A and B are shown apart, each in its own frame.
Chain A
Amino acid sequence: MAKLRNYLRVYRRRWYLTQGELAFLLDYEAESFISRLERDERAITLAAASACHALFGAELQELFPALMEGLEEGLVARMQELNARLLQSEPTQKTASKLEMLQEAMARLSAPAEKQEV
Chain B
Amino acid sequence: MSRPHGALILAFYPHARGFSYVVFEGPLSLVDWGMSDVPAKRKTATCVRRLSFLLDQYRPDAVVIRQIREGRLAKLSEAITEFVESRRIVVAAVSREKIREVFAHLGSPTRYAIVQAVAKQIPVLAPYVPPVRKIWYGEDRRMGLFDAAAMALTFYQGNGAAVRV
Binding site for B on A (CB under 8 A): 1-4, 7, 9-11, 13-14, 16, 39, 58, 62
Contact = CB atoms under 8 A, between A and B. Distances in A.
Contacts of A4: 8, 25, 31, 58
Given A4-B31, A9-B32, A13-B32, 9 more contacts: A1-B5, A3-B5, A3-B8, A3-B61, A4-B8, A11-B1, A14-B124, A58-B1, A62-B2
Nearest to A39: B57
6 contacts: A1-B5, A2-B5, A3-B5, A4-B8, A4-B31, A14-B124
Contacts of B127: 16
Interface residues of B, number: 15
Nearest to A15: B124
Q: Is the interface of B mostly helix, strand, loop or mixed?
A: mixed
Contacts of A9: 32
Interface string B1-38: 11001011000000000000000010000011100000
A21 to B, nearest CB: 16
A67 B1 CA distance: 17
Nearest to A14: B124
A3 to B, nearest CB: 5
